[in-house]
Amino acid sequence: MWRTIAGLAVPLLVAESLNFAVQLGIVAVLGRMGDDAVYLRSLYQPVSLVVLAVTVGFAVSHQVAAAISKGAGRPRDVMANAASLARFWLGLGAALYLLLAIAAPLLTGLLQVDAEQRDTFVSFLRWTSAASLPAVGAELCAAGLRGYGYVRHATLLVVGTAGVRIGLVAGLGLGTGVGIAAVPVAEATAGLTGLAMGLVLLRRTELWHPSAVLVWRREVLTDLRRIGVPIALSLLLISAYNLAVIRVLGDYGQDAVAGFTVVSTVQNVVLLPGTVLGTATAITINQQRGKGDWRRIRALMRGGIEVTVIAYAAIAVLVWLVHDPLARLIGGDAGVAAAAGRYLGAVALTYAVQGPVLTSLTVMEETGGGFRAIVLNAVYFGLIVAVSAASAHAAGSADGFYAAVAYGNLIGVSVPLIAVRHIRRLSAEGGAARQGTGRSATRPRELSDTP
């Protein structure tokens, strides 16, 4: 089981590590443009998660459908599914942009933007959110390839898109002096380039069926509700959490806010193996669901958690040992780096718990247990914000916040047990349905989060 999961996880980790390295690089490039650039990017982070939430919801829904199609031997369904999702996205994406554009001036007050930066922030938010919308095309292509088993093709697509993004931010932002305006230009160009690359890569596989794009698959709406909506809501919870943290840390200065953004970016990379292992485990589970092999999914889940526990015992110690130089490398400004170093030093060892938690939540989200994952996330983030804000107030500094977050991370130890129970129930229900019909279904029935 370990070999099966690792075979998917390694190329996924390479691609996503490079993608997040690009995000770190962008933060570092913005740091060289001056404090204002990092500050504006920090304020935009909760908003960017809204766009990301919807995009990822669509992509993962397609990835799950592609994995099931692989198990059932239906390659033609992949392009039809992607085209159906893209048509639905056209309307939803336009509505999302209009909402963000109209709300931009109101967000300056909610985010406590400095008066002299408000007009710049509004302009940056509108242009960048619009530029981020085309990325869904590349994401759907990568998700289809990944879910069906063409992980190396998907990796090439992710790497190419990431290279375009950071190349333009660095080249335009530092080379031409346009500053932070390079970010939306890079986002739009990367999205369109990624779509073109994705279509070329699909053409080289058995998934290329151009006539299938005319087929409307009604199942995409069910998949979005069952898979995409819970994932999007989970990311929106993270967005709300980031917004709440920024408001709390805003009382302790710009360095504390920017330091939180630096740690969040670093943490995305550090926790990436947990998400990747969860995705690899979920893909293999969904492929077995497509085949109707319900018994094997229990062993796959156990193997995924075992690999994650071993990996994060080492990762947590390593990050704790290098947290100060890492913060200085990414933070740029001395004040930002100091705040980031204190925060990272407080939470680094708790990654030993957070890694297996992320793997478990990812598997749940991609196998029909997304609404349970939302409840778990809501409880966690709510407790963290409430307790950490009180701790910061009592300590009179952001250090109290950092310590409370570290202790709060430990409450996740029960999540892997809940995820294992979810997979056992999924296996039992699938096996019972197979025995009841006398055959294995080519498409698993819809699952709910109710017992």
DSSP string for 252-312 = G-HHHHHHHHHHHHHHHHHTHHHHHHHHHHHHHHHHHHHHT--THHHHHHHHHHHHHHHHH
Please give the share of the chain, as a percent, with pLDDT higher than 90.
19
User: Which pLDDT value is given to residue 381?
Assistant: 86
Residue 447 belongs to a domain? no
Q: Largest alpha-carbon pair distance within the chain?
A: 69
Assess contact for 400 and 393: CB atoms under 8 A.
yes
Q: Is residue 309 part of a domain?
A: yes
Q: Is the pLDDT of residue 35 over 80?
A: no
In-domain check, residue 135? yes
Full DSSP string of 336-403: HHHHHHHHHHHHGGGHHHHHHHHHHHHHHHTTT-HHHHHHHHHHHHHHHHHHHHHHHHHHTSHHHHHH
What integer pLDDT is reported at residue 291 of this predicted model? Answer: 80
448 within a domain of the structure (yes/no): no
CA dihedral 108, 110, 111, 112 (to 10 degrees): 80
Whether residue 359 contacts residue 281, with contact meaning beta carbons closer than 8 Å, is answered with yes
Residue 227 is classified by DSSP as I
Per-chain mean pLDDT for the chain: 82
pLDDT at 435: 61
Structural domain including 415 reads 2-437
The answer to whether the beta carbons of residues 89 and 8 sit under 8 Å apart is: no
- Which long-range CB contacts under 8 A does 216-219 form with residues at least 24 apart? 216/84, 216/87, 217/77, 217/80, 217/81, 217/84, 219/65, 219/81, 219/443
Residue 69 inside a domain? The answer is: yes
How many helices (H) and strands (E) the chain has is answered by 17, 0
pLDDT in tens, 128-171: 888 888 888 999 999 999 989 898 899 899 889 988 888 888 88
For 414, the token pair is 């029960």
Q: Is residue 451 part of a domain?
A: no
Total domain count, the chain: 1
Most confident of 49-53, 265-269, 328-332, 369-373: 369-373
d(CA 305, CA 358): 10
Q: Is residue 117 part of a domain?
A: yes
How much is the average pLDDT of 339-365?
89
Q: Is residue 445 part of a domain?
A: no
